[in-house]
């Protein structure tokens, strides 16, 4: 079996001689088929994503059924041109070798995008270089930037490694959008900050430097997208630290990501089984270590919450961390499809409701800090409250304090379907869940548990009155859901300490 590259123009010239099987249903493959004018020559389209198998999809004026790659076992592959049009072209080629047989005398073609061409332009040379004691960190989704860079589990791992002098042995590289915002990190020994925007840059020197670090690093520690690592070397180790172990299902019904990295960290066997299924991972990929950022819960930041976040000085503090419904610009694909309230918040649907709760909080001498999800759109109104403060993720990031180090200082948590509740269980403090839109959320994104109520380690809130009742409990020092939380703890957590980062490094083979 041979693997040969073909440009769009070359495909146009060759495909009229034989019918084609297209491996990859995505925006790039649709564009290629339209640009080449070979739609009429396409016999089958196959894809890795099980969510599209058996569905009919429109490309131009034609409709195609999308099939599983296993379709190839029932036809004579030699009767067709097989063309891979996907960002994971090498992985798909390896799969074809297994299905058809790598010893077969057949040519598999691939058509790379312009971005792929840029990302691999120095590859033949860089692949010859030895891997170095180098670790690359990245946080956030594919588009990245702004409030995503230098955050979450990747940041927790990095800070742990600096504190424990792993940078004496390893060079630690942060991939961010804007290098100038994080250049202060380079004050530490063996730390460098690079921009992932340089990957496909027209500036060949910048592009080469970026790709040099990627092709010579031994390890990659990241929290979300792995598509930027699609051309990694086989002897590199990719660790998906992810965001959390929670209750929400995957919104984006894309192909399984598990084949694209080596390990994923989780908090317990329960979540190892869940994430293996929804991400398409093998059991041996799952590392039951706890999440890196959970270590922060055992290390509150110095000072008082009131001073740290410019809040009113009160007797008690409750953090409310709602998950997102309607997303910020650029992340619309993750939005839920049902109508939002006036405020954009669950339960407290009007600003009058918020004012009433504010009055109750003042009476209890409790402060409610509402920190919105990084993806959450917020209906910013010029409302002033005595004992409530609403902060967007962008505003919160200016304080440069990991949320878990602040949660360690709170008296209770309110959330809904966010994984922060599972993290917060480590503090053994009261949790409440706003569930007024539970059925709509279940019908949209869905949950990883069939009966979600059984797995929520806290009090259920459906109405404004129940919200107020929870405030009464916190004021009086009542923890009404402790028994349920205790029963669920062993299911959701294997460990109850601040050694998650240490365990992760040991599991993947990073030592001082």
84-106 per-position pLDDT tens digit: 999 899 999 999 999 999 999 99
Q: Among all chains, which residue has been given the structure tokens 């929870």?
A: 470
Angstrom distance (rounded) from CA 298 to CA 427: 8
Is a pLDDT exceeding 90 seen at residue 250? no
Angle between helices 152-163 and 500-508 (to 10 degrees): 90
Q: Any idea what the Cα angle at residue 478 is, between residues 475 and 483, rounded to 5°?
A: 150
In a domain, 377, yes or no: yes
In the chain, the number of structural domains is 3
| Inside any domain, residue 497 | no
Supply the DSSP string of 15-44, one letter for each residue: TTSS-EEEE--SHHHHHHHHHHT-GGGEEE
Q: Is residue 503 part of a domain?
A: no
Q: For residue 236, how many other CB atoms are within 10 A of its CB?
A: 18
CB-based burial of residue 241 (10 Å sphere; 0-12 exposed, 13-18 middle, 19+ buried)? Answer: buried
| Contact assessment for residue 161 and residue 170, using Cβ atoms and an 8 Å cutoff | yes
Least confident of 209-223, 246-260, 446-460: 246-260
Question: 85, 112, 139: which is the final residue of a domain?
Answer: 112
Same domain, 186 and 313: no
pLDDT above 90 (res 314): yes
Coil vs helix vs strand at 174: strand
Residues 257 and 317 in one domain: no
Same domain, 139 and 258: yes
| 29 and 137 both lie in a single domain | no
* 86: CATH: 3.40.50
Residue 213 and residue 107 share a domain: no
Q: Is residue 508 part of a domain?
A: no
Looking at the fold, whether 271 and 369 belong to one and the same domain comes out as: no
- What is residue 397's predicted lDDT score, i.e. its pLDDT? 86
Q: Is the pLDDT of residue 334 over 50?
A: no
Tell me whether residue 364 is in a domain: yes
Residue 164 and residue 90 in one domain: no
Helix axes 482-492, 269-279, angle to 10 degrees: 60
307 and 164 in a common domain: no
Beta bridge partners of 171: 134
Q: Is 502 part of a structural domain of the chain?
A: no
Q: Which residues pair with 390 in a beta bridge?
A: 370
Same domain flag for 316 and 279? no
**Same domain? 344 vs 365:** yes
Torsion angle (degrees, nearest 10) of CA 38, 40, 46, 52? 110
DSSP 62-103: EEEEEE-GGGGGGS-GGGSEEEE-STTHHHHHHHHIIIIITT
Q: Report the CATH number at residue 247.
A: 3.40.50.11820
Same domain for 348 and 380?
A: yes
Domain boundary among 88, 112, 136: 112
- 91 in any annotated domain: yes
pLDDT level of residue 435 (50, 70, 90 thresholds): very high
Residue 27: exposure state from Cβ atoms within 10 A (0-12, 13-18, ≥19) = exposed
pLDDT by residue (tens digit) across 441-495? Answer: 888 888 999 999 999 999 999 999 999 999 999 999 999 999 999 999 999 999 9
List the CATH number of the domain containing 441.
Answer: 3.40.50.12580
Q: Which residues contact 123 (CB under 8 A, 6 or more apart)?
A: 211, 215, 231
The domain boundary residue, chosen from 266, 296, 326: 296
Question: Cβ distance 35 to 16 under 8 Å?
Answer: no
Q: Which residues contact 53 (CB under 8 A, 6 or more apart)?
A: 47, 66, 67, 68
Centre a 10 Å sphere on the Cβ of residue 168 and count the other Cβ atoms it contains.
Answer: 9
Residues 97 and 132 in one domain: no
Question: Which range marks the domain in which residue 92 is found?
Answer: 2-112
* 106 falls within a domain: yes
Strand 20-23 vs strand 56-59: parallel, antiparallel, or unpaired?
Answer: unpaired
Comparing CA positions, the residue from 464, 468, 465, 441 lying closest to residue 453 is 441
Q: Phi, psi (5° rounding) for residue 221?
A: -120, 115
């Amino acid at each position: 079996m041979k693997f040969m590259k073909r440009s769009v123009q070359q495909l146009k010239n060759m495909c009229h001689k034989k019918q084609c099987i297209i491996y990859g249903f995505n925006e790039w493959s649709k564009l290629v088929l339209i640009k080449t004018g070979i739609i009429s020559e396409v016999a089958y389209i196959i894809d890795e994503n099980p969510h599209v198998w058996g569905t009919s999809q429109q490309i131009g004026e034609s409709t195609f059924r999308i099939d599983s790659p296993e379709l190839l076992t029932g036809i004579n592959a030699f009767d067709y041109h097989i063309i891979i049009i996907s960002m994971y072209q090498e992985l798909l080629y390896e799969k074809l070798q297994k299905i058809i047989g790598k010893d077969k005398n057949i040519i598999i073609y691939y058509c790379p995008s312009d971005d792929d061409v840029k990302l691999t332009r120095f590859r033949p040379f860089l692949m010859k270089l030895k891997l170095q004691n180098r670790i690359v960190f990245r946080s956030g989704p594919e588009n990245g930037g702004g409030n995503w860079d230098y955050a979450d589990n990747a940041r927790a791992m990095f800070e742990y490694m600096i504190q424990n002098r792993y940078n004496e042995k390893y060079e630690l590289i942060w991939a961010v959008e804007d290098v100038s915002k994080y250049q202060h990190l380079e004050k530490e020994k063996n730390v460098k900050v690079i921009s992932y925007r340089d990957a496909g840059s027209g500036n060949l020197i910048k592009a080469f430097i970026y790709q040099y670090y990627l092709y010579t690093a031994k390890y990659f520690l990241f929290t979300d997208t792995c598509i930027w690592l699609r051309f990694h070397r086989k002897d590199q180790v990719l660790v998906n630290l992810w965001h959390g172990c929670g209750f929400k299902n995957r919104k984006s019904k894309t192909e399984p990501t598990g084949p694209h990295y080596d390990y994923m960290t989780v908090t317990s066997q329960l979540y190892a089984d869940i994430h293996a299924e929804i991400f398409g991972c093998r059991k041996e990929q799952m590392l039951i270590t706890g999440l890196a950022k959970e270590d922060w819960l055992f290390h509150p930041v110095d000072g008082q919450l009131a001073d740290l976040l410019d809040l009113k000085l009160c007797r008690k503090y409750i953090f409310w961390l709602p998950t997102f419904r309607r997303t910020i610009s650029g992340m619309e694909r993750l939005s839920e499809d049902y109508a939002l309230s006036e405020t954009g918040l669950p339960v407290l649907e009007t600003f009058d409701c918020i004012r009433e709760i504010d009055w109750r909080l003042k009476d209890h001498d409790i402060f409610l800090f509402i920190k919105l999800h990084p993806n959450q759109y917020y209906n910013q109104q010029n409302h002033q409250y005595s004992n409530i403060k609403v902060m967007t993720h962008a505003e919160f990031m200016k304080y440069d304090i990991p949320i878990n180090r602040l949660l360690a200082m709170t008296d209770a948590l309110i959330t809904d379907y966010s994984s922060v509740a599972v993290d917060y269980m480590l503090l053994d403090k009261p949790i409440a869940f706003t569930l007024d839109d539970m059925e709509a959320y279940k019908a949209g994104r869905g949950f990883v548990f069939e009966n979600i109520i059984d797995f929520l380690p806290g009090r259920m809130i459906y109405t404004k009155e129940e919200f107020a009742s929870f405030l009464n409990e916190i004021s009086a020092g009542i923890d009404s859901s402790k028994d349920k939380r205790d029963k669920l703890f062993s299911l959701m957590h294997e460990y109850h300490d601040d050694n998650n980062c240490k365990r992760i490094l040991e599991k993947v083979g990073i030592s001082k």
